[in-house]
Structures are given as structure tokens and as C-alpha cells.
Amino acid sequence: MPKKENSLVQLNEFLQSLPKHFQVLETPVDVDVQLAYYQQARTQEKPGAPPDGKQLEQYEEALRSGQTDTEEKKRLLITLASVGTPEAYRIIERYAAKPDEGLEAWSIMALHESKMVLESSLLDENQVYISTGLGGKDDMLRYFAVILHKQGPLEDFQKKVLDGEVRDAVNAAEGVTERIAHYGGFSTVQLLIPVRNDLTHVLISAIQESNAYGDFLETDMLITNMKILSNKEIMQLIAQKNG
């Protein structure tokens, strides 16, 4: 099995194994930022004792101070996220509402972790959160897919057919089609799909139904939940595939 197909299978198997209750990080956050955040959170030394009210005030003052450098603010956000109290959560929430330039995504990650730690403490059970580069909504993950044309640009009626079949297939899967766009050799789809639904099956169904009107689409496609691909990146991936 090709590596990319195997990755999708593994992703679907993981999503199917999730517990009944889970939460999705809705705001898109660059995957590299997520990895950097979690790596620092794992290695950064935790406070020996939970900070008291005065210490929390000092942390918030330091976050708001123009004299505190970016790396120290990153450290403070991770420290606050690990505390697991409503007071610490509210400090991060206030900062995340108006963060310093360059710390927008980091503050979102800290707020996300703080909420997870707080809920785990209050409910006395571990909370499961899912975070991807494109985020999601409620119990749905956001994906970006590229559907390849067999012969150049689509005709107007072919665009209408593909648009309709994609929307029908996504609706049937209880998802949401956010955007469809058409280009010279491919079409792109941005959509939300419930975590436990197989997106590959949904899109293949739409392609097969569309091809009943003229066999104008490839069954191969590109799918990612890491980022919105630029047309240049898509063309490079298509060239690699053809090569």
C-alpha cells in the first residue's frame, strides 16, 4: 500500500478508536507551532508548588509588559497552562484575546492546554482533544482536498455537476462544504467532516457520481488537514505524482 494511503488508513483507525467524548481544537494552528509548543511543554520545568494569587498576578503583569521578551512569554504561557485552575485559565484567556504579535498561535495552544488540564481536574478523568493544522468545529475536522481533472479545465456543466455531487455527498455524511474552487487541471474542496466519518469514501463517492456524466475526473486525489495548499504547491505535488 502506498505510504500516503497507509497514512489515511492509520488516521481513520485512530479516529475510530476515540472515546465517546472528545473535543476538537477549532482554531487553525500551524502544525510546526503545535509541535514546538508540545515539545517545550514536555521539557520545561514545572513549578514546584502551585502559584498563589500574588504569583499569578506577577505572571500576568509580565505577559503584558513590553520589557518581557518573547521566549519568556512563551515560558510563562506554558507555566500557566499547566496550573489547572480557573484563575490561570482566565489570565491566558485575557492574554489570548489580545496577544503580542507572533504569539497568537502560542497563546491559543496555551489556552487549549489550560482548558484540558482544568477539565481533567474538575471531572477527574483525562480529556481527549484533537488538534490539526486546519482545526475544526464541534465534532468535525477541517480538510483540504484536491480533485484532479482528466483533461484540463472543466466545462461549466462539469463544474456544476462536481459542485452538486460534492455537496450532496458531504451533506449525507453530516458534514459542511465550506468552499469549492476550480482551476486548470484540478478542483479544490475545503470542508468539515465528522471525526468518525471516512472522508476518502465521501469524496470517491462524489467523483464516481460525477463521472457518470462524462468520466472527467481522476479517482486519485490529495487530502490534507495540515494546511491550505497554494496552487504552486498543488502543481508541485501533481508533478511528483506524474513523475
pLDDT at 1 over 50: no
Interatomic CA distance for residues 218 and 118, integer angstroms = 47
Kindly report the three-state secondary structure assignment for every residue of 108-160.
HHHHHHHHHHHHHHHHCCCCCEECCCCCEECCEEEEEEEEEECCCCCCHHHHH
Which pLDDT tens digit goes with each residue over 144-203?
A: 999 999 999 999 999 999 999 999 999 999 999 999 999 999 999 999 999 888 889 999
Which pLDDT tens digit goes with each residue over 34-83?
A: 999 999 999 998 877 778 889 999 999 999 999 999 999 999 999 999 98
β-pair type (23-24, 140-149): unpaired
Per-residue confidence (pLDDT) for residue 160, from 0 to 100:
97
Per-residue confidence (pLDDT) for residue 10, from 0 to 100:
60
Candidates 3.20.20.70, 3.40.50.720, 3.30.70.1290, 3.40.1000.10; CATH matching 136-242: 3.30.70.1290
Per-residue confidence (pLDDT) for residue 162, from 0 to 100:
98
Per-residue confidence (pLDDT) for residue 24, from 0 to 100:
77
Q: CA-CA distances (angstroms) from residue 181 to 9, 40, 48, 74?
A: 27, 38, 53, 38
Cell of 143: 480538510
Per-residue confidence (pLDDT) for residue 243, from 0 to 100:
66
Per-residue confidence (pLDDT) for residue 51, from 0 to 100:
82
Q: Quick check: 156 and 127 in contact, CB under 8 A?
A: no
Cell of 184: 486548470
Q: CA-CA distances (angstroms) from residue 237 to 131, 190, 226, 234?
A: 25, 18, 15, 5
Per-residue confidence (pLDDT) for residue 127, from 0 to 100:
64
User: How many other CB atoms sit within 10 Å of the CB of residue 84?
Assistant: 19
Interatomic CA distance for residues 7 and 185, integer angstroms = 25
Per-residue confidence (pLDDT) for residue 28, from 0 to 100:
86
Per-residue confidence (pLDDT) for residue 241, from 0 to 100:
76
What 8-state DSSP symbol labels residue 84? -
What is the location of CATH 3.30.70.1290 in the chain? 136-242
- The amino acid at residue 173 is A
Cell of 188: 479544490
What is the share, in percent, of the chain residues with pLDDT greater than 90? 64
pLDDT band for position 18 (cuts 50, 70, 90): low
Per-residue confidence (pLDDT) for residue 120, from 0 to 100:
75
